[in-house]
A and B are shown apart, each in its own frame.
Chain A
């Protein structure tokens, strides 16, 4: 796998999965 691919993949997944997990975490804190 190209290094450019790996970095982009981490960035895109980082934003989406990170955002999802963080908002789930905040949701659990809301209650």
Chain B
């Protein structure tokens, strides 16, 4: 395998868009935006693009480009080997998300085939979902998702990741545009657009909107995951981190908006036909992880002309989005093994087998799945904090002048970046964390610290603490080979 292979100029943009545009856009965004007030949420969400997602994506890309090592190696190289455990934590958070992300990707593949070949649209969705979940199929489709994802990265950066994304991303865009054209022309769709794009500014006083806007910005763009850092390893020497990250961030948001315009007007159109109140519509939209996409969408599409075709189209788009992000996640984990001296083939095989085994509990139990989604989704906040800490340790000004910008780049960051990293980003982090703890305590003072609950503060803190302790204790062991290999070169 060619160790020096790197993305082309457009290759990294397609790969980065693929990394960012995933199920977070199509599966999570429409649900979250309707749960937290539609238009008002959008305002907070767009603000976090500028003050959270874009700075972090830029930082990540710059780090990968500078160190030419994966997440753990980058932390070790830039902060000293004693701090490499922070990189291990960031890697583990993304890996833990990958373990159940492959399960979701498997669901998407299953539902695409079920729509095409099993007449899903004519079946009772709740029963179909329950039957699917109680069968062996989630495990089988979890395996299929990993197999396809690993097969792509097995071929390397240019022949695997870049080539796949150059097909997946344009195809996804076309599918979304077709679906948008259908949804906005449905009777009653305007009510959905009114809900989506009419902000009630008084809702911006609710801190919950801000916390969820931040988590959506991080979830959707991939900021703070370490994914862009990993792609940065393969960037060209003259890559401009600011420009590339900006393209990805905005592109990801456009995909989210298109997905919301597909789903929300369709839901409103369906209920408008049944004379149901907006409260009922929102109740449907707010259903959990699997509720809206896998239980309600088949019902909604069954009521529109050519519904089966458009439902298949939606699930195909979801599959494309899921795979384009999954390959970035698998590459991040594989890169750690490659940094430790393994060949790509061996690294990918280990990652494939590991992800399959670690994802089994989520494939079998939806309760475990929801717990992991809760714990590690929030873990992204800590990952982001560690990346900010890295910049603070290096020195924001030095980081900006020597690592992000180089003399031949036309677009450079100003001093505002230093203040953003020194004050605003840490402040956001602390404010969100304190608010989250306070809100959880006030909502359920008796159970908020329960360790064995599906979604409690206790289970989050416990799992984070175990992971961090293990990574600190075994830091030398985990990173020994990585740095010995590097020194040996």
Contact = CB atoms under 8 A, between A and B. Distances in A.
Contact of B247 (A4, A8, A17, A24): A24
Interface in A2-29: 2, 4-6, 8-9, 12-13, 15-17, 19-20, 23-24, 26-27
B240 A1 contact: no
Contacts of B197: 5-6, 8-9, 12
Contacts of A31: 9
B254 A30 contact: no
Given A13-B257, A16-B254, A5 B9 contact: no
Contacts of A1: 190, 193-194
A16 B244 contact: no
Nearest to A13: B257
- For chain B, what secondary structure do more than half of its interface residues adopt (helix, strand, loop), or is it mixed? helix
Interface in B178-216: 190, 193-194, 196-199
Contacts of B292: none
Given A16-B46, A30-B240, A30-B410, A2 B250 contact: no
B42 interface: yes
A4 B250 contact: no
Contacts of A6: 197
Interface of B: 9-10, 13, 39, 42, 46, 190, 193-194, 196-199, 240, 243-244, 246-247, 249-251, 253-254, 257, 410-411
Given A1-B194, A9-B197, A27 B411 contact: no
Contacts of A26: 243, 411
Contacts of B190: 1
18 contacts: A1-B193, A1-B194, A2-B194, A2-B198, A5-B193, A5-B197, A8-B42, A8-B197, A13-B257, A16-B250, A19-B249, A23-B246, A23-B250, A24-B247, A27-B244, A27-B247, A30-B243, A30-B410
Nearest to B54: A19
Contacts of A13: 254, 257
- For chain A, what secondary structure do more than half of its interface residues adopt (helix, strand, loop), or is it mixed? helix
A31 B249 CA distance: 21
A6 B46 CA distance: 17
A19 B190 CA distance: 26
Interface of A: 1-2, 4-6, 8-9, 12-13, 15-17, 19-20, 23-24, 26-27, 30-31
A23 B247 CA distance: 5
Interface-central residue, B13, B190, B193, B411, by most chain A CB under 10 Å: B193
Given A8-B39, A9-B193, A31-B9, A19 B257 contact: no
B243 A5 contact: no
B199 A8 contact: yes
The 7 closest A-B pairs by CB, nearest first: A20-B250, A19-B250, A23-B247, A16-B253, A9-B197, A8-B197, A23-B246
Nearest to B238: A30
B257 A16 contact: yes
B263 to A, nearest CB: 16
B257 A20 contact: no
A9 B247 CA distance: 20
A25 to B, nearest CB: 10
A17 to B, nearest CB: 5
Contacts of B42: 8, 12
